């Protein structure tokens, strides 16, 4: 059986994807205690661990390293400090583990902004480290989650490497049809979910937006996202990119125009491709943050299929 480790595991998006194609997780690591609680509730393992303090010799052997390493140092939503940010240096802990354990393959995920950070020099350092210093054959590409069965514009770079340099990896082609946002919405909300009604100041700001009257009656229940005082509208029935900042306040959670309410955590999980059987604390700030930090599961499923099939040959 093909085995993998789940670094910077979050709530387990990589694990769900790789387990769905028959791989076995043998080690997990995550430092956020709230994400660890969600991870443990769904997988039974407590991944609490600081990757920077890991001794690779204490880790089990594995075939694939999975790591959605912290994206804030490279994100346009952050300050883009890159390797000058202590979170950015965690890439070099990935390097340290790969060098020590020599897995057959790895898959790394980060924000699209990594490609342009420091005029492309940051990505160049990462690729040269993986190819020249670690001697892996590397493939990378920016993929949009909207092309793989989830109703969200979410562009992320995926970097995949193989120890066997004879391997040729192909990224999965986009699906022919995108999924609409209205396919994941709950039409009937009761009980605690009533608290998801958008705050007065959010509603007021939106009603004063010059394009509000053009979309308020749209039957597709289009979403918009409030960022500071600016509203960004989506007309293509896709949700905006879910971000970790959803956990910092109600204004950062996408709101449904027709119903004047925030998306629930369950709806946000669906937008990331998680099954309804996945447990998370409903409609809590930390839960929104965890979902915004996650990978889109269907995208990783497609990549996991390709990687594991090549390793079985």
- Catalytic positions, written as ranges: 71
Pairing of strands 105-111, 64-67: parallel
Residue 189: count of CB within 10 angstroms of its CB: 17
Q: Do residues 260 and 200 lie in contact, with contact meaning Cβ atoms separated by under 8 Å?
A: no
Measure the CA–CA gap between 313 and 310, rounded to whole angstroms. Answer: 5
Alpha carbon distances (Å) from 268 to 150, 187, 311: 11, 14, 33
Residue 308: count of CB within 10 angstroms of its CB: 18
* 94-105 CB burial, b ≥16 within 10 A, e <16: beebbeebebbb
Measure the CA–CA gap between 87 and 168, rounded to whole angstroms. Answer: 31
Measure the CA–CA gap between 144 and 159, rounded to whole angstroms. Answer: 14
Beta bridge partners of 142: 157
Residue 235: which of 188, 180, 277, 283 has the closest Cα? 180
Side by side, which strands form the sheet with 155-162?
A: 24-29, 3-7, 64-67, 105-111, 155-162, 137-144
Three-state DSSP at 221 gives coil
Beta bridge partners of 4: 25, 64
Output the six-digit token pair for 285. 């700030």
Measure the CA–CA gap between 147 and 236, rounded to whole angstroms. Answer: 13
């Amino acid at each position: 059986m093909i085995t993998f480790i789940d670094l910077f595991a979050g709530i387990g998006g990589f694990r769900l994807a790789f387990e769905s194609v028959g791989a076995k997780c043998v080690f997990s690591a995550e430092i956020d205690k709230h994400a660890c609680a969600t991870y443990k509730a769904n997988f039974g393992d407590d991944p609490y661990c600081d990757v920077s303090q890991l001794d690779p010799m204490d880790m089990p052997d594995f075939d694939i390293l999975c790591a959605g390493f912290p994206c804030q140092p490279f994100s346009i939503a952050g300050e883009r400090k890159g390797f000058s940010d202590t979170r950015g240096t965690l890439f070099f802990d990935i390097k340290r583990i790969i060098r020590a354990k020599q897995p057959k393959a790895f898959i790394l995920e980060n924000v699209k902004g990594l490609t342009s950070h420091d005029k492309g020099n940051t990505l160049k350092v990462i690729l040269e480290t993986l190819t020249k210093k670690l001697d892996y054959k590397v493939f990378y590409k920016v993929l949009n989650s909207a092309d793989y069965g989830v109703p969200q514009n979410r562009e992320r770079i995926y970097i995949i490497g193989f120890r066997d340099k004879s391997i040729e990896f192909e990224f999965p082609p986009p699906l022919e049809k995108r999924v609409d946002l209205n396919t994941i919405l709950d039409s009937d909300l009761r009980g605690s979910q009533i608290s998801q009604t958008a705050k007065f100041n959010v509603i007021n700001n939106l009603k004063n937006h010059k394009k509000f009257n053009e979309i308020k009656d749209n039957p597709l229940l289009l979403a918009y996202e409030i960022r500071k005082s600016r509203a960004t509208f989506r007309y293509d029935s896709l949700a905006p990119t879910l971000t970790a900042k959803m956990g910092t306040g109600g204004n950062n959670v996408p709101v449904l125009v027709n119903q004047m309410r925030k998306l629930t955590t369950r709806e946000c999980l669906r937008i990331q491709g998680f099954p309804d059987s996945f447990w998370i604390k409903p409609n809590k700030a930390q839960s929104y943050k965890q979902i915004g930090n996650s990978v889109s599961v269907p995208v990783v499923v497609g990549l996991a299929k390709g990687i594991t099939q090549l390793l079985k040959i």
